Structures are given as C-alpha cells and as structure tokens.
Amino acid sequence: MAAINAVVDLGKDGDIAIVTVNSPPVNALSADVRDGLDGAFKAIAGDASVKAVVLVCAGRTFIAGADISEFGKAPRGASLHAVQDAMESAAVPVVAAIHGTALGGGLEVALCAHYRVADARAKLGLPEVKLGLLPGAGGTQRLPRIVGAAKAVEMVTSGTPMAAKAALAAGLVDEIVDGDLTAGAIAFARKIVAEGRPLKKVRDDSSRLGGDAASLAPMFAEFRKANAKKFAGFEAPEANIKCIEAAVALPFEDGIKVERSEFMKLMGGLQSAAQRHVFFAERQAAKIDGLPVDVQPLLVKSVGIIGAGTMGGGIAMNFLSVGIPVTIVETKQEALDRGVAVIRRNYENSAKKGRFSMEEVEARMGRLTPTLALEDLKDADLIIEAVFENMVVKKEIFGKLDSIAKPGAILASNTSYLNIDEIAASTTRPESVVGMHFFSPANVMRLLEVVNGAKTSKQVLATAMAVGKAIGKIGVVSGVCHGFIGNRMLGARQEQANKLILEGARPADVDRVLTDFGFPMGPFQMSDLAGLDIGWSAETSKGVSVRDRLCEAGLRGQKNGKGFYDYDEARNRTPSPVAEQIILDYAAEKGINRRDISDEEILERCLYPMVNEGAKILDEGMAQRASDIDIVWINGYGWPVYRGGPMFWAEHDAGRDKIAAALERMGMDVSPRLKAGF
Ligand code: 3H9
C-alpha cells in the first residue's frame, strides 16, 4: 500500500485498486483528505492495469461529511467537486464500501461511485439541515434520483439517516456485506467487472424521481403544510425542499446550480453559523476542564432513586431504558404504587406508538424494584435524591444515606436551586456528593446540569457526566449558585417579565414576543404549565405578588384550567380576564403608571438581563465556558437552536455593546464581560 499523503493510501489487490481514507476521528473531508483522494484517483486514471476501484475508510466510520471546522475559512486544497468528478467519470467502476455513518459530504462522495456496498450496521444520510445547511455537493440532486423525491425531501429536511437494510431496499446501496467489508467490496467489484456491468452514474438516471414537476407539486405542497410548525423559524428546511424541487424540475446541471446558490446563501447566514456553533458546543460541553487524564469514571451498574413523583419516575425511566436496574424509594405505599404505575403507563404508551414491543415494556419494568425502605439502597452505585425542594428534608435524607450507602457510592441530588455544599455537609463524605439536575419531563429532556460541589471529587464529577452520556443526556458542568446556570438566568428573565405586566404589557404580549423569537412558549405559558402554586401555600400566602393573588383567587394554571390564561378541554388558551384584573389592581395598589410597551422593549428587557446573568455566571466561574450556557438554554429551556444560545446571540446578533448600554440605561449592574467579551 502506497501513501498518497498522511490520510489517504492507495493499494492494490490484483487488478482492484483500494483507496483508503484514514483521517480520525470521523474521516471528515478535510483539505488533506480531498487532496489525498484527488491524488489517488489521478494515479488510478494513469494505471491501465486497474479494473475497478474500492473506496473504503479506516477507523470507526466512512466519511462523516465535510470538515465542519473548515467552514467559513479560506478554501484550501483540492475541491470536493473535482474529486467527485474524478470518481464519477473514472473509466473503471468505483465501489464505495460503507461502514459506520456515511453522512453529508461522505454520502455525496459515495453517490459519485458507480456502486455502493455497506456493512449491515451502516447508516447513510444527509444531516446538513441540522447545521442550518443543505447538501452542497450534489446530494440534493443525486439522492432523489435513487430514493425518489418524496423520500429525499423527508431525508434532507429531517437529517435522519437510513439504516443499511432500508438503503438496500431503496437502491441506495447495491449489496450488504457480511464479514470483512473491504474483502466483500473487492469481491463485489470483481463480480461487476466479470459481469461487465455498466458504470452507473446516478446523475444520468431520472427514472426513479417518482414523477415530474407537475405531478409531484401536490406532494411538495402537502409536505410543506404537514411540517410548517416543525420548520417554523428555520431557513434551511425550505432551502432543502427547493433543491429537491429543482432536482425534479430541472436537468441535473441546472439543479446543481440551484443547490450551489442555496447552499452559499445558507452558509453565509447567521442561522447556520449558530447551528454549527451548537454542534461543537455540544461536544465541548462534555469536557471537564482540568480533569487529570488518569481519572476514570466509576462503574455504575445499579441506581437508587429517592422519590417516585414526576421527577423521580422520569429519572428512573432513563436508566431502565438503557438496561440499568433501579431501586425506587417512597415513604408511602400509595405514592410508590402511583409512581410505578405512571412509569408503566409511559412505557405502554410508547409501545402503543410502535417505539418498542410490549416485551420490551416488561423487560424495562422488570428492572425496577419499588420499596419503602431506604436501606434497600445499600448496594446502589449511584443514588439520586428527587424529593421536593426543601433543604431540611434533603439534609435529613443525605444524613441517612451516609449511613446506608456503600463506600464509594455516588450521592446525587436532583435539586434545581439548593446549595449542594450544604447538602453535602450533612454527610461524612462530601467528596461523593454531586448535583444531577434533570429537567422535566426527565425521561425526555436532554439537558442534565451536573453540579460540582466545593468538595465533589473529580472522579465523582466525571462519573456523573459519563452517566449522563450513557442515558443520552447532554451534561453541562455547573458550579454551586442559586438556580445553577439555567434557573439562575431564568430568574433574571422572569423578574423582568413580572415587572413588564405591571408596567403595561399583557402576559399574552410577553409570551407572543418570546414565541415569535423562537421559544416554544413564553414565561406566563410556562408558569401556567408548571402550576402557579408550586412552592405556594394558602397558609403562608401574604398576597405580596401577582402570583400570590392569582393562587389566592383559585387560579392554579393548566392543572385547573385557570391561570394567566383560561384553558378549555382541548387546552386552547385565551387570556384570563380574572388574571388581567388582578394584575391591574395590583399595579394600581403599587402606584405603577401603566403605559404602552413596545415588543422591542419586551424582548430587550427579557433577554438582555439573562445574557448579563450569563456573563456574571462566567465571571464567578460557575460555567466552564460561554458555549456551555448556550447548550443549557437550547436543551433545557427551548432557546431556538438557529439563534445559537443566549451568549452566541449576544456576541453575533444582538451585540454585546448594545446590550451593555441598554442594561446601563435600565440601571442594572452590568458584568464587565459584556464589554470585554466572553
Ligand atoms: C457537509 O457535509 C456539507 C456538504 O454537504 C457539502 C460541502 C460542500 N467535521 O460526534 P462525535 C468531530 S456538512 C469536523 O463526538 P460520535 C467532533 O467535533 C457535514 N469535525 O462522535 C468530535 O471532535 P472532538 C455533514 C467533526 O461517534 C469528533 O469528531 N455531516 C465532524 O458520537 C467525534 O465526534 C455531519 O453533520 C465533521 N463533519 O458521532 C455529521 N463530525 O472529539 C456530523 C464529527 O474534538 N457528525 N467531528 O470533540 C456526526 O453526526 C457525528 O460526529 C458522527 C460520530 C455520527 C459522525
């Protein structure tokens, strides 16, 4: 085997040339890879003894796409299009041998091979939409020519890959290889040479598109309508659809021009920059600053959960679903039974929707041990306390756990506000105590704030992050402060929202401005959903806030159909006149002169203080990096991903200086970072 360069080799097996890409971690199409492929195909073109070519990748995957880290930088190396042309116009058949994930530019390269074979576990897809992009290397024109326009439009707008078996059925791969992929691909190449099969160019065959522009117009119209809500706010899905329409309506070369122009528009836009930022930020969040390389996470083979309420049950499901047994503890049999029943019902509902079988429901439930005895947690590797937010209760539980849990067990609290260090101090092993703050519904929401106490050991912190990953969460490390990263910033937003409705904005105005911005719901819709009476009690209520007054008047939010909004049986909402009057009366009592408040002011007052709080969180070292804050807000609070998170938005859209100036005008204490940079 001869090296073309550091990342591409060219070898031969008799008269079959083998081009191997070896560019860890994911064989992305960096300048070096493109140069290597360019060199390899040039060498092959000059070698008359070659009868066919196999393109294969070393390591864990076939080419996983263009190298995203090169985007936005000056172009370097061979162009991808030149490499694709060289493959497609090769004089001998080219076979792409796919394992792992052939994604984006990777699949687009494979689509320029004349044939494709795949490992049975391989996946093939065009996920560019998730980066605010579209496949810019012919994918929107070639994919529909194989799988049809209807399937292609679904694939490019969802970014969801196709499994090898489905790809075989759709004609996207020609054969599935059992056993060694390279050997299988070589055998396949020999077979097509022996059979004298043609050099199939995907671009030349439009017979599988599924119709012409006129006959497919209703399909596109229907697709847009069905997905309007899902795509709202995003630019990339529509651009992807347009390109598939072009594949149907135009000759290949003209379709490519449409693709190119739409790609360049997206690539130069803020949404793609934001979504690419999020891609890297998500991976960065997993890294713990200053973690010594020799620190290995502990093994977690069994979990104990205290509290079988909504949070405890949701948390338990995460573990049961990935095969980890859970012992769940409650104080009363009735509450325990109710919690277990909710878990079962959730699983059964998923099974009814076809997500998995009823046997799987039983397998998951079989891993759950309900108990009333805290002592039953003595063998658990990880214990997560998920009782209500009360420091006295939590300290008591941790004190007891200290004498029950085995040495080395991790003691975690799901608290969303309280001081982990104070909780840890009720044990003799604060190094084993950590915060694991799940978001509701805990079996669905991807965010996990991992709270690093003053005495939490590095190994325990690393284990909590690793456990999060194992159950499919995105862990973000937070320091100990009131509300940690997410709720602390939420508090800054809520404070302004509460003031705005007294000063003249209506709750529905505040909610509309934030949903127009891209949040799935506004602060008052959120309060209604959570329940206005969380943390409120009739006995202690002093009527000193709008919330107190609403609760005193019997408004509890969605749970009783009355809150800032009235809800009908289908949960449709209309602004509540009762709430409105309570707000007006309260404002009058406080002597507040109500005035018209613009949408712009609502947006600025809700979001700028949040950014400021984020900057303070960085000042205090409570978050490891600004991008972690973005990940918290995108995954825990519905910040629109195409706006990159609050810190990205401040930096690249709203402008840090503008925010700082506005906050000064509001008389707020401004973090110096807002001027200096995050
Ligand atoms: C595209 O192709 C555009 C074209 O249409 C046209 C152009 C003209 N580039 O996720 P992991 C890094 S757009 C650069 O933890 P996994 C990643 O940052 C692209 N780097 O592994 C991480 O680095 P680090 C379309 C990349 O096993 C490391 O690799 N393709 C790229 O859980 C490991 O990643 C995509 O959107 C990349 N393309 O998952 C696919 N991909 O270790 C994006 C990964 O320093 N990639 N890295 O943190 C993925 O979906 C997953 O990485 C993959 C592996 C499924 C492949």
Residues 548-567 pLDDT 10s: 999 999 999 999 999 999 99
β-bridge partners, 66: 29
Q: 159 CB under 6 A from ligand 1?
A: no
Ligand 1 midpoint to CA 284 (Å): 13
- Residues 472-517 have pLDDT tens digits of 999 999 999 999 999 999 999 999 999 999 999 999 999 999 999 9
Q: Which atom of ligand 1 is nearest to the CA of 61?
A: 56
Q: 86 CB under 6 A from ligand 1?
A: no
CA dist 202 to 123, 142, 172, 205, Å? 19, 6, 10, 6
Q: Is the dihedral of CA 268, 274, 280, 284 positive or negative?
A: positive
pLDDT of residue 267: 96
Average pLDDT over residues 275-283: 97
- Residues 354-377 have pLDDT tens digits of 999 999 999 999 999 999 999 999
| For residue 1, pLDDT beyond 80 | no
Is 396 part of the annotated catalytic residue set?
no
- Residues 149 and 157 sit within 8 Å (Cβ to Cβ): no
β-bridge partners, 9: 3, 20
pLDDT-above-70 percentage for the chain: 100
Q: What is the DSSP secondary structure assignment for residue 297, as one 8-state letter? A: P
How far apart CA 627 and CA 632 sit, in angstroms, is 9
Three-class HEC string of 408-464: CCEEEECCCCCCHHHHHCCCCCHHHEEEEEECCCCCCCCEEEEECCCCCCHHHHHHH
Q: 137 CB under 6 A from ligand 1?
A: yes
User: Which domains occur in the chain, in start order?
Assistant: 2-267 (3.90.226.10), 303-484 (3.40.50.720), 530-589 (no CATH)
Ligand 1 midpoint to CA 71 (Å): 13
Q: 101 CB under 6 A from ligand 1?
A: yes
Average pLDDT over residues 527-546: 90
Average pLDDT over residues 524-539: 91
β-bridge partners, 368: 326
Ligand 1 midpoint to CA 566 (Å): 46
Q: What does the block give as tokens for 303?
A: 């979990």
pLDDT of residue 615: 98
Residue with tokens 């020799």: 294
pTM for the full predicted model: 0.95
Q: What does the block give as tokens for 288?
A: 């713990």
| For residue 149, pLDDT beyond 90 | yes
How far apart CA 77 and CA 6 sit, in angstroms, is 14
Q: Which atom of ligand 1 is nearest to the CA of 280?
A: 18
- Residues 576-590 have pLDDT tens digits of 999 999 999 999 999
Q: How far does Cα 339 stand from its chain's mean position?
A: 28
Average pLDDT over residues 297-318: 97
Q: Are strands 101-103 and 94-98 parallel, antiparallel or unpaired?
A: unpaired
- Residues 605-633 have pLDDT tens digits of 999 999 999 999 999 999 999 999 999 99
**Mean per-residue pLDDT over the chain, rounded:** 97
Is 108 part of the annotated catalytic residue set?
yes
Q: 96 CB under 6 A from ligand 1?
A: no
CA dist 277 to 99, 274, 313, Å? 27, 5, 33
pLDDT of residue 675: 86
β-bridge partners, 451: 435, 478
How far apart CA 119 and CA 319 sit, in angstroms, is 30
Q: 474 CB under 6 A from ligand 1?
A: no
Average pLDDT over residues 164-190: 98
- Residues 118-130 have pLDDT tens digits of 999 999 999 999 9
| For residue 397, pLDDT beyond 90 | yes
Average pLDDT over residues 27-45: 97
pLDDT-above-90 percentage for the chain: 97
How far apart CA 566 and CA 555 sit, in angstroms, is 9
Which are the contacts of 435, defined by CB distance < 8 A and separation ≥ 6? 412, 413, 414, 415, 420, 449, 450, 451, 452, 453, 478, 480, 484
Average pLDDT over residues 591-611: 98
Q: What does the block give as tokens for 262?
A: 């739409």
* Pocket residue to mutate for ligand 1, from 7, 23, 26, most atoms within 8 A of Cβ: 26
Ligand 1 midpoint to CA 469 (Å): 17
How far apart CA 59 and CA 39 sit, in angstroms, is 21
Q: How far does Cα 97 stand from its chain's mean position?
A: 29
| For residue 202, pLDDT beyond 80 | yes
**What single letter denotes the amino acid at residue 242?**
K
pLDDT of residue 15: 97
How far apart CA 604 and CA 592 sit, in angstroms, is 20
**What single letter denotes the amino acid at residue 591?**
G
- Residues 158-168 have pLDDT tens digits of 999 999 999 99
Q: 129 CB under 6 A from ligand 1?
A: no
Q: Which atom of ligand 1 is nearest to the CA of 60?
A: 27
User: Of residues 88, 128, 235, 259, which has the active-site annotation?
Assistant: 128
How far apart CA 211 and CA 203 sit, in angstroms, is 16
| For residue 535, pLDDT beyond 90 | no
Length of the chain: 678
Residue with tokens 């529905």: 508
- Residues 156 and 240 sit within 8 Å (Cβ to Cβ): yes
How far apart CA 334 and CA 328 sit, in angstroms, is 13
CA dist 569 to 527, 560, 579, Å? 19, 10, 19
How far apart CA 150 and CA 141 sit, in angstroms, is 13
pLDDT of residue 552: 96
Q: What does the block give as tokens for 436?
A: 């694991």
Q: Are strands 94-98 and 123-125 parallel, antiparallel or unpaired?
A: unpaired
CA dist 471 to 446, 573, 645, Å? 9, 35, 24
CA dist 640 to 233, 516, 633, Å? 8, 10, 9
The helix/strand/coil state of 534 is: coil
Residue nearest to atom 53 of ligand 1 (CA): 64
Average pLDDT over residues 410-427: 97
- Residues 213-270 have pLDDT tens digits of 999 999 999 999 999 999 999 999 999 999 999 999 999 999 999 999 999 999 999 9
Ligand 1 midpoint to CA 64 (Å): 6
pLDDT of residue 463: 98
* Pocket residue to mutate for ligand 1, from 68, 131, 240, most atoms within 8 A of Cβ: 68
Q: 104 CB under 6 A from ligand 1?
A: yes
Kindly report the backbone phi and psi dihedral angles of residue 77, in degrees, each rounded to the nearest multiple of 5, phi listed first: 75, -175
